[in-house]
Structure 1
Amino acid sequence: MASSRNQNFIFMLISVLIILATMSFTSALFSAKHVVIVNKLVTRATLIVHCMNKSEDKGVISLGPGDSFDFRFRVNLRKTTVYTCSFAWPGNTATFDIFRADRDDNPQSKVGVCSECIWSIYEPAPCRDRRDGGQPNCFPWAS
């Protein structure tokens, strides 16, 4: 009877250790990201934001001047994750890939890896803010 309990305990212990190891491995493979979008339109207009990827639609969000919207996700195993957002403000519409794994989760990219990707949206360009307070990295609108 005691031998059977010991075997069950050992089996449960090994199972728990395997699950914990798998969770740590999975977390390391699928890096967590937090995207923050801030309305910094100089005209102080309301910014309409609509972000999505192939399988997830974040909905349509209305941001007043200085307001922000954020979402979290994990980069896929192949590192092909892309979130595209459309932006609209009076008289203008534009689109931009707010997160691209090849740009934002790649140590070799010119802007480097971000785990918290903070984007300031200006009329001329979307800009990814730098954690060190340096000049932001601005990119042209896709359209």
Structure 2
Amino acid sequence: MYGSSAFHFIFSVTFIVFFFGGLCEASRHVNVDIINDIGSNFQLGLYCKSKGKDLGAHYLASHQHWGFQANLNFWETTLFFCHFQWARGSQSKWFDIFNANRDYRLGICQDNPCVWSIRPNGPCRLLKGQEKCFPWNVVI
């Protein structure tokens, strides 16, 4: 009899943690917006994905933008990365376009969208009239 009650208690606690954790996860999301600022007459090709979600390929004309909504996982370790190409494929770079450790945990993209201006030297995050630029990720 004791083993059965312990099982029910553990099962109930596990259910509650996953149920409420799922509700919290569903409400924690960020919006990411990507702008092609490579230069006039340059089309920007981009392909974004995370470990579990493929957002597919997109092509942006100069100053055009595209965005997506990212749901944060329970541990707040969500990561989306994008591969960028321009100048007829001669330029090929990649960047972690959303990194929860960098963009969410510090409160940067919690109440505001993460807006990224993609430039030849690297992406710049735009927030409330300010920008912070980052280098491209290095391929090892």
The yes-or-no answer on 1:125 pairing with 2:122 is yes
CA shift at 1:28, angstroms? 7.0
> Which has more radius of gyration?
1
Q: Deviations over 1:4-40 (max 9, x none)?
A: xxxxxxxxxxxxxxxxxx77x8247852100000001
Q: Partner of 2:133 in structure 1?
A: 138
Using the alignment, how far apart are the partners of 1:64 and 1:42 within structure 2? 10
In structure 2, the residue corresponding to 1:94 is in which secondary structure? strand
| AA in 2 matched with 1:85 | C
CA contact (8 A) 2:83 2:94 kept: yes
CA contact (8 A) 1:85 1:95 kept: yes
Using the alignment, how far apart are the partners of 1:69 and 1:29 within structure 2? 22
Runs of 4+, deviation exceeding 4 Å: none
Q: Deviations over 1:74-106 (max 9, x none)?
A: 110111100010000012000000000100011
CA contact (8 A) 1:30 1:77 kept: no
Return the structure number with greater strand share: 2
Q: TM-score, normalised by structure 2?
A: 0.75
CA shift at 1:42, angstroms? 2.2
CA shift at 1:43, angstroms? 4.2
Query: CA RMSD, aligned part only?
Result: 2.1
**Structure 2 residues without counterparts, runs of 5 or longer:** 1-18
| AA in 2 matched with 1:64 | A
Identity %: 32
**Structure 1 residues without counterparts, runs of 5 or longer:** 1-21
Q: TM-score, normalised by structure 1?
A: 0.74
CA shift at 1:44, angstroms? 3.3
In structure 1, the residue corresponding to 2:102 is in which secondary structure? helix
Alignment of 1:1-143 (within 5 A): 26-27=23-24, 31-90=28-87, 91-107=90-106, 112-115=107-110, 116-130=113-127, 132-134=128-130, 136-143=131-138
